[in-house]
A = this chain, B = another copy of it.
Amino acid sequence: MDIAFIGLGGMGGPMARNLVAAGHRLQVWNRSPERAAALVEAGATLAATPAAAAAAADCAVTMLADDAALEAVTLGSDGLVAGLRAGALHVSMSTISVACADGLAAAHAAQDQGFVSAPVFGRPDAAAQAALFIVAAGAAADIDRCQPLFDALGRRSFVVGDTPSQANIVKLSGNFMIMAAVEAMAEAMTIAGRHGVDRETMLGVMTGTLFDSPIYRNYGAMLVNDRFRPAGFAAELGLKDMRLLDSAAENVRVPAPLLGIVRDRLRGLVAQHGADIDWAALGKMVRDSAGEI
């Protein structure tokens, strides 16, 4: 397939490489063009603008930091809406807001272009191993056209609805559920710790019985070892995701007190420890609040 790939950061870089390896033809664009060097060596072509990358593409794939970055490459005279031909498709794999997804879907529809939201679960190492989980939403025919890309990028994909922004709701919900699990573990560990049960023992019981899943094992280990730098996922980005989910909840008038707790923890975490600590340090805030050193 002829693919325009926009955004070659920690996630986008290895994803683009997997698409090249699967035999697709890539025109790539990145705000800092020097990050494209390795991909060009692997066979991709560097384009001057997102629109130029998209000109000959069946499909444009974007993997960017936030709403603003995605809107910058999509709208405007150099953007994907201007560059893609009618009938082509934009697959947005970034973690963005519902409002942003709805807006871009409308902008593409006005040019008879398709739009699929397909955010992912997984960190850069999972991206490199094509082991991402992909959560997709959009018109069924559009999603069918994406399937070869999903197969090259992830280990499994899920279709959650025919409105693209539904995929973003599910992705943000997953991040929220991770933070909720961290808060729960941290409260339990802190209470038990003050009664003389160490964190590792507590974690061993929980993952050995009821909570035998990677989230509890991996984040639990971070809480046990108190290692939050360098960040696998920065607190500032976690806070942003919780804000986007809260905004989606507000729009449909759903009270969400646990979401409120994790938002408050992340605000305090960023205020006290900086934007670049790992979001799992939310659990450290629990201990801090109880006067632990």
The answer, yes or no, to whether A76 is at the interface (CB within 8 Å) is no
Q: A158-B204, A205-B160 are in contact. Are A181 and B184 (CB under 8 A)?
A: yes
Classify chain A: how many residues form its interface, as a range: 35 or more
- Report A283 CB to chain B, min CB distance, Å: 12
CA distance A265 to B258 in the complex (A): 11
Asked whether A261 lies within 8 Å of B254 as measured between CB atoms, the reply is no
Given contacts A248-B195, A291-B253, contact A210 B210 (CB under 8 A): no
* A183 at the binding interface (Cβ < 8 Å): yes
Contact assessment for A271 and B243 in the assembled complex, using a CB-CB cutoff below 8 Å: no
Please determine whether B170 and A202 come into contact, CB atoms closer than 8 angstroms: yes
Of all chain B residues, the one with the shortest Cβ separation from A255 is B264
B177, A180: Cβ atoms under 8 Å?
no
| Cα distance A258–B260 in the bound complex, in angstroms | 10
Tell me which residues across on chain B come within 8 A of A243, comparing CB atoms: 250
In chain A, positions 176-202 with a C-beta closer than 8 Å to chain B are: 176-178, 180-181, 183-185, 187-188, 190-192, 194-197, 201-202
CB closest residue in chain B, given A261? B257
Interface bits A147-178 vs B (CB < 8 Å: 1, else 0): 00000000010101101011001100110111
Highest count of chain B CB atoms <10 Å: which of A133, A183, A255: A255
Residues of A bordering B, CB below 8 Å: 98, 121, 133, 135, 156, 158, 160-161, 163, 165-166, 169-170, 173-174, 176-178, 180-181, 183-185, 187-188, 190-192, 194-197, 201-202, 204-206, 208-216, 243, 245, 248-250, 252-261, 263-265, 267-268, 270-272, 286, 289-291
